[in-house]
Amino acid sequence: MFFLLFILINFCCFATAGRGGTWNLLLNSSGVVAMHMVVTYHDTVIMFDQTSAGPSGLQLGGCNRDSDSTCWAHSVEYDIASNNIRPLVLKTDTWCSSGAFLSNGTLAQTGGHGDGARRIRYFRPCSNGHCWWHESGETLSNDRWYATNQILPETDRVFVIGGLNALTYEFVPKYSPNEGAFDMRFLHETRNRREENDNLYPFVHLLPDGNLFIFANRESILFDYRNHNVVKHFPRIPGEGARSYPSTGSSVMLPLTYEDGFSRVEVLICGGSASGSYEAARRGELYEALRTCARMVVTDENPEWSVEDMPGPRVMNDMILLPTSDVLIINGASHGCAGWDHADSPVLHPYLYKPYETNGSRFTVLHRSNIPRMYHSSAVLLPDGRVLVAGSNPNRHYLFDARFPTELRVETFSPYYTDPFFDPKRAQNVTIKFNHTHHGIRYGEEFVVQFELARRPGVLEYNAYAPPFTTHSLSMGQRLLKLQCTNFTREVGGRMRASVVAPPSPVIAPSGYYMFTVVNGGVPSAAKWIRFIQG
């Protein structure tokens, strides 16, 4: 009886506390604002800001001119295991820029402001602390400030679209030496006549048919980038207001699964700003943000948006695909829009969105942070399942006595599944075996996953997550794939052995590094890095 009472008390304590997640402060100062953030396959996080922000919170060595912005770091490498920061040097301004990972794990990073508006930069991650930003001799055809990047199925080619006064798209690298940028009528059509634009940082998702879903303002299209052709116009998203910068909402493509041949694609968009919010904010009037989410199966013959309410209004929210296939909605404010001092009323509670529950029961309000994360904040998924949250600076420079000061603290949000309560269900000591002469797992190839469980397995899933480039509530290139298990056995000694099939092509999963997790009964393991490659 005592044992049963003990179990019941522990379960009740978890039910009231653990389900809401936990917050932990990692660093009092990262040195720089995490306007942009990525997680690399060496278990490091690259954070960077704009070089034009002036002195940051981290001075570079060998320089005594305090007023010179080049004496201060504007990028850092954060090591997850050691909790240490290493300063990095940026030569040109990355303010409101974009990026994508290449097949070897290199970050291709494009655009920015001023001297950085047409620059192409690369960062090749390393494990020894001797990797640095590299500025390419090649340049973009147009200035790209507030643009979006999407890695393409063609190995190491990136689609770059939009930006302030850049109603075009282009490719990095170009298909031919004399290729320039291509005009895009869709961007002309979605640009508001007012100064607010509302079509910057468009949402872009690579679909399994090889085309791109592109959303800007309130409109969306299916775009054949190879033939420069709009295949389809989707219905306008219902309701007033806009979803793209500066009316910044966020978007995810819900997980793709082998069960339908990775053919069904559903897009989810949440948050945004009311019509006219940008102009109103410039007058000092802050409208309530949008409180709706809309989702659409874009591969349906006659797709339609389905709308539902969030627990509250939200703008500048990040959306992260968790290894459980749920969506974490985090950061942002309830009034205003993106921009300097253009928002108020920070939303401190994350929301958990369960896409496979019935409408009306999908949202859960989670435990709050004590740190407002407003304009220029970011959040990324870590390999251990936690979410790293950093940044916030609605000020033109580093300002620590403002109402919403420059925020250099770094924290993690740990979703419920990280709680030790779930350790008996968590797959441990995950190892992956494949033909290492290929330097990766080839498309359609089977690979072996071995792991240990303390109890008999429940429903098992094998998921691969593409780490995105995150900035301004966009997680560019984010995707989660549910992979097929063709054989499952228990080995001598109790270890589990699963034969898992890699995605069939780079259209489903562009070549590169992915976080691979074993999910047992809704509880994910710590991720292992795997790499999908061309045969």
pTM, two decimals, is 0.95
Give the C-alpha distances (Å, rounded to integers) separating 70 from 58, 113, 205, 321, 325: 11, 16, 36, 36, 42
Rounded distance, CA 315 to CA 336, Å? 7
Domains of the chain with bracketed CATH: 2-418 (2.130.10.80), 422-533 (2.60.40.10)
Let me know: does 88 contact 56? Beta carbons within 8 Å.
Answer: no
Q: Which of 290, 197, 305 is nearest to 250 (CA)?
A: 290
Per-residue pLDDT for the chain (535 aa), expressed as one digit of tens each? Answer: 444 444 444 444 444 446 899 999 999 999 999 999 999 999 999 999 999 999 999 999 767 665 566 789 999 999 999 999 999 999 999 999 999 999 999 999 999 999 999 999 999 999 999 999 999 999 999 999 999 999 999 989 999 999 999 999 999 999 999 999 999 999 999 999 767 799 999 999 999 999 999 999 999 999 999 999 999 999 999 999 999 999 999 999 999 999 999 999 999 999 999 999 999 999 999 999 999 999 999 999 999 999 999 999 999 999 999 999 999 999 999 999 999 999 999 999 999 999 999 999 999 999 999 999 999 999 999 999 999 999 999 999 999 999 999 999 999 999 999 999 999 999 999 999 998 777 899 999 999 999 999 999 999 999 999 999 999 999 999 999 999 999 999 988 789 999 999 999 999 999 999 999 999 999 999 999 999 999 7
- Judged on CB neighbours under 10 Å (0-12, 13-18, 19+), 460 is middle
Q: How many helices (H) and strands (E) does the chain have?
A: 3, 42
Let me know: does 100 contact 84? Beta carbons within 8 Å.
Answer: no
Give the CA-trace dihedral at 375, 377, 381, 384, to 10 degrees.
-150
- The H or E element spanning position 6 is helix 2-17
Q: Which of 249, 376, 413 is nearest to 316 (CA)?
A: 249
Let me know: does 399 contact 405? Beta carbons within 8 Å.
Answer: yes
